[in-house]
Amino acid sequence: MKEKDFYVDFKPQQLIYYVEKDDASYGPLLSGSYLSKHYLDDYYEKMEKLEKSLREQLNNGEISPVYYFMILQSYGEGDLASRAGVSKRKLKQHFHIKYFAKLRLSQLKKYAEAFDVPVAAMFHLMITRNEDQGKITVEQVETKNSFFSIARLAIKTK
């Protein structure tokens, strides 16, 4: 594809693509992502809907936090099972509250590590009110105690 037909002006996501230059040689071009420039809003809309729907299922006890994080982080079941050190059959059981309730803390910690969240996040989600969105930040601070973390809340300054 010719350079002039390819270039996309989108600074937040720039990539190297290979294109045909004016002199017919092929070479690299730094360009924005076509998909992100045109469809990023759609992606966020879908993710927001997905998160809300999963949270509702979590609230209703229909799914466990393991399933919630697995879907949100787009894990394959085999990959997650391997990271958490369980069989796929066990993993599927842990999608349900009945079996989640029987998890050992050490097993829960492995899941938390795979999701890169504190162990506390497997029991507790922190969200802001709609009207406060973007105004408050939550920073998860790890401590030397791997079972204990601190959530540091801060009001965003301009």
Partner 1 sequence: MKEINFEHKMGAHCESGTITSLLNHNGLGITEPMVFGLAGNIFFGYFESSNFPFPTFIVRNRPGSIRKNLAKNIGVKFYTKNFRSREKGEKILDELISNEIVTAAQVDFYYMDYMPEWQRAHINVHFVNVIGRNEKDYMLSDSYYSKKSTLSVSKLTKARFAGGFMAPKGFLFYPVFIPDEIDYERAIFKGIKKAAYNMTKLPVPFVGVKGIRKFARKVTDWPKIARDIDHLSHEIMKINILLEDQGTGGAGFRYLYATFLQQAADKLNNDQLNGMSQRMMEIGDSWRNISYFAAKIGKNRDLGPERLKELSEMINDMADQELPFFQELYKIVK
By the rule CB under 8 A, 42 interacts with partner 1: yes
For the chain, the helix, strand and coil percentages under 3-state DSSP, each to the nearest 5: 45, 20, 35
By the rule CB under 8 A, 20 interacts with partner 1: yes
| Nearest distance from C-beta of residue 36 to partner 1, angstroms | 7
By the rule CB under 8 A, 106 interacts with partner 1: no
By the rule CB under 8 A, 12 interacts with partner 1: yes
Residue 49 and residue 18: Cα distance in Å, rounded?
36
CA-CA-CA-CA dihedral for 97, 46, 13, 142, to nearest 10: -20
DSSP per position, 59-121: HTTSS-HHHHHHHHTT--HHHHHHHHT--HHHHHHTTSHHHHTT--HHHHHHHHHHHTS-GGG
- Of 7, 51, 82, 109, the one binding partner 1 by CB under 8 A: 82
| Nearest distance from C-beta of residue 123 to partner 1, angstroms | 22
Site for partner 1 in 114-153 (CB under 8 A): 114, 116, 142
What radius of gyration, in Å, describes the C-alpha atoms of the chain? Answer: 21
By the rule CB under 8 A, 56 interacts with partner 1: no
Query: Quick one: which segment of 27-35, 56-64, 126-134, 148-156 binds partner 1 (CB under 8 A)?
Result: 27-35
**Residue 77 Cα distances to 58, 92, 94, 100, angstroms:** 19, 8, 11, 16
By the rule CB under 8 A, 33 interacts with partner 1: yes
Query: Quick one: which segment of 32-40, 56-64, 98-106, 126-134 binds partner 1 (CB under 8 A)?
Result: 32-40
* Residues engaged in binding partner 1 (CB under 8 A): 1, 6, 12-20, 25-28, 30, 33-36, 38-40, 42-44, 46, 49-50, 73-83, 85, 88, 113-114, 116, 142
